[in-house]
Amino acid sequence: MPDEKKVIPKKKQLDPRELTTCEATAMMLAKARKDGVELAFDRAQNMKPCPIGADSACCKHCFMGPCRLNAKDPYAKTGVCGATIDTIMSRNFARAVAAGCSAHTDHGMAMLDLFREVLEGHIKDYEIKNVQKLLYVAKEMDIETKDREIKDIAMDLYKELERTYTQVDGEIPFVKRVPEKTLETWRKEGIVPRGAMREIMELMHRSAIGVDQHYANITKQCSRVALADGWGGSMVATEIADILFGTPSPVAIEVNMGVLKEDQVNIIVHGHEPNLFESMVASVAEPTLIQAAKDAGAKGLNLVGMCCSGLEMFSRHGTPHAGNFMSTETILVTGAVDAMVVDVQCIKQALAQVAECYKTQLITTNPRARIEGGKHIEFHEDKPKDCTDEIVIQAIGRFKNRGVEVEIPQIVNTGVHGFSHEYINYMLGGTFRASYTPLNDNIINGRIRGVAGVVGCNNPRMKQDYVHVELVKELIKNDVLVVQTGCSQIALAKAGLTTPEAAHLAGPGLKEVCETVGMPPVLGLGACVDNSRILIACAEMVKTGGLGESIADLPVAGCAPEYMSEKAITIGQYFVASGVFTVFGVTFPITEGTKFHKHLFEELEDLGMGKWGFATDPFEIARMMIAHIDKKRKALGIDKARERVLMDMADRRDMDAA
Ligand code: XCC
Ligand code: SF4
């Protein structure tokens, strides 16, 4: 039974099924209520979002304020310094972009540190697993590879990629991947990133009191910072993870809370750093530790993932995945989790309290991120197993005297995930002619109407998973191929849409392509940093030809329908700056009817980029995305082809029926 003092007073409580479409989460939410344990779902009901903040109409950038304006009459007042609503909103937006970029680039830089230490021989527990990928990236970066030692090539690549972060002038290395016309637009606008550190520094400076006070100019630096994430920090994180740990390829994995095993020691890793998780994989395979678990009466060690690091791991190791962001508290309610191990990003502080209620060990591992009430076992890359072995020992200790009742929702779904852009290439093109030509051809001939990225978090202000799932269903029904990263793909996996069998839910054109290739209509590409894989895929589509000259010409659109993180805003901004129409759900930190709103939601498109959109209803979002895709098809002159191919297919069906 949970600790008495944690029992919460009865406040407003909605039926769990109104809060989530995830059956397991609903079950555990109901149990938490019975146990008197408060979760983020409850807090969201009892804490209305601050209405002034929701409109981004307040400023606390100096201590003459904080100042707040009236979103209903946005130009009636200014701040004490005279800052207008547009300045205030764009500065708030800038700070979110800077924070999100910092998260991804700090993570990417940590991966690069690891890479360097491996190369210099200071770290011996990791190695280069994927030489082919190393050579491929090195060649792209114009590094000589012929007749050279792998180590030397790798060191040159390290030095080259380090510029992504530290360079003070020039252009970041991965602009080499950007289609020429897109890059031309960036150069014209002055938004090609130099190095992430410099760009973030400048944005923090410009968004301080009394510096940049033109919303359009602030937006430029927002784009520059965001691009330093998408084509910089995140892309480096993805590429280095592939080089060190292997490029993912599709595997069938188990998802949902049923992956926990009552008779095993259950260890959840929840966070964003693959190196910790890789070492956990090694520790749970350690014969002495397996024996220790058996001696404690367990059948074995059961390692599962949650959120983004889970997404990176399942495609490399087939590690099961227990759920997305809004399930991280509820899963502790099962009582079956012996240790929850976290590193950085998206870790709710309340996990410490919920863990305490259910006697789970909450273990922090990264020096950047500690939680009051959690146990800290620091992870050091030069001796990773010191930390992860100890975690296993702690988990076994908790298994031995769980002291709480265990109730695991017996729900397990299967999804096929791990589609790198390299694999998409191969899957559609075949080994001998790996290319994007078949994808482009199928878009041009209209079988595939376009491609949509549906990504990002859960947010307890929306019914968990509902918008992700309904939106994606609507898109594939309309022949739009969906690619995914982040927590979104777990929503779709739980709904059974990430298997090849889900092709029957697709429109006739997409269905035919999926059935021919044997692929799902919804492709999971990995963690949030792996949004870079979507950028690369877009760049490849442009380079392959037939779909215009810049990313802005492609019949593609993006969406984060249940986002909650500042990181999502950064991702949204780099997709917009790259040329993609990007729709966000839940809420948008902006006041409508202002110049800054018009700038983000209309004017950026006129500058050759994409633009933002906002809607909360999945069907409305789908309508907006499809309308955009159709607009681009028309501009490319391929709108008629689609009508023809659909007519053909109807004829064929009639013939089959006759
Ligand atoms: Fe976090 Fe990455 Fe959002 Fe999920 S999707 S809630 S950012 S874990 Ni990235
Ligand atoms: Fe107010 Fe201007 Fe200071 Fe912001 S920067 S808190 S608007 S005085």
The pLDDT tens digits of the residues spanning 494-514 come to 999 999 999 999 999 999 999
Ligand 2 atom index nearest CA of 67? 1
pLDDT at 1: 46
Of 494, 476, 299, 315, nearest to 414 by C-alpha is: 494
pLDDT at 649: 80
Residues in the chain: 658
Decide: 609 in ligand 1 pocket, CB within 6 A: no
Return the ligand number nearest the Cα of 271. 1
CB atoms within 10 A of CB 368: 12
Of the residues 468, 492, 565, 584, which should be mutated to test ligand 1's pocket, given the most ligand atoms within 8 Å of the CB? 565
To the nearest 10 degrees (0 to 180), the angle between helices 85-119 and 566-578 is 90
Digit-coded pLDDT (tens) for 460-490: 999 999 999 999 999 999 999 999 999 999 9
Return the ligand number nearest the Cα of 568. 1
To the nearest 10 degrees (0 to 180), the angle between helices 150-166 and 85-119 is 160
Of 349, 374, 71, 107, nearest to 237 by C-alpha is: 107
Distance 196 CA to ligand 2 centre (A): 27
Is pTM, for the whole model, over 0.85? yes
- Residue 14 pairs in a beta bridge with none
Digit-coded pLDDT (tens) for 167-193: 999 999 999 999 999 999 999 999 999
Distance 530 CA to ligand 1 centre (A): 12
Q: Would strands 265-270 and 251-255 be described as parallel, antiparallel, or unpaired? A: unpaired
Return the ligand number nearest the Cα of 88. 2
pLDDT at 3: 47
Alpha helices in 120-214 (DSSP H): 131-140, 150-166, 180-189, 196-206
Checking if the pLDDT of 361 tops 70, the result is yes
Decide: 486 in ligand 1 pocket, CB within 6 A: yes
Of the residues 209, 211, 218, which should be mutated to test ligand 2's pocket, given the most ligand atoms within 8 Å of the CB? 209
CB-CB contact of 211 with 205 (8 Å): yes
Distance 634 CA to ligand 1 centre (A): 35
Return the ligand number nearest the Cα of 59. 2
Distance 70 CA to ligand 2 centre (A): 14
Decide: 40 in ligand 1 pocket, CB within 6 A: no
Distance 65 CA to ligand 2 centre (A): 5
To the nearest 10 degrees (0 to 180), the angle between helices 307-317 and 274-284 is 50
CA atoms of 54 and 56, how far apart (whole Å):
5
Digit-coded pLDDT (tens) for 582-628: 999 999 999 999 999 999 999 999 999 999 999 999 999 999 999 99
DSSP run (H or E) holding 385: helix 384-400
Decide: 528 in ligand 1 pocket, CB within 6 A: yes
Digit-coded pLDDT (tens) for 546-577: 999 999 999 999 999 999 999 999 999 999 99
pLDDT at 423: 83
Of the residues 325, 328, 459, 532, which should be mutated to test ligand 1's pocket, given the most ligand atoms within 8 Å of the CB? 325
Digit-coded pLDDT (tens) for 105-134: 999 999 999 999 999 999 998 999 999 999
With bands split at pLDDT 50, 70 and 90, how would you rate the model's confidence at 434? low
Return the ligand number nearest the Cα of 87. 2
Q: What percent of the chain has pLDDT over 90?
A: 88
Checking if the pLDDT of 372 tops 60, the result is yes
pLDDT at 431: 54
Digit-coded pLDDT (tens) for 75-89: 999 999 999 999 999
Of the residues 64, 77, 213, 218, which should be mutated to test ligand 2's pocket, given the most ligand atoms within 8 Å of the CB? 64
Checking if the pLDDT of 421 tops 90, the result is no
Digit-coded pLDDT (tens) for 5-15: 455 555 678 89
Checking if the pLDDT of 297 tops 90, the result is yes
Decide: 348 in ligand 1 pocket, CB within 6 A: no
Distance 456 CA to ligand 1 centre (A): 6
Decide: 559 in ligand 1 pocket, CB within 6 A: no
Distance 528 CA to ligand 1 centre (A): 7
With bands split at pLDDT 50, 70 and 90, how would you rate the model's confidence at 301? very high
SS3 state at 468: helix
With bands split at pLDDT 50, 70 and 90, how would you rate the model's confidence at 163? very high
pLDDT at 292: 97
Ligand 1 atom index nearest CA of 325? 6
Distance 106 CA to ligand 2 centre (A): 29
To the nearest 10 degrees (0 to 180), the angle between helices 215-228 and 85-119 is 20
Distance 294 CA to ligand 1 centre (A): 35
Checking if the pLDDT of 650 tops 80, the result is no
Decide: 586 in ligand 1 pocket, CB within 6 A: no
Decide: 346 in ligand 1 pocket, CB within 6 A: yes
Write the residue with the smallest CA distance to atom 3 of ligand 2.
62
With bands split at pLDDT 50, 70 and 90, how would you rate the model's confidence at 314? confident
DSSP run (H or E) holding 503: none
Return the ligand number nearest the Cα of 213. 2
Pocket (CB within 6 angstroms of ligand 2): 59-62, 64-67, 79-81, 83, 88, 209
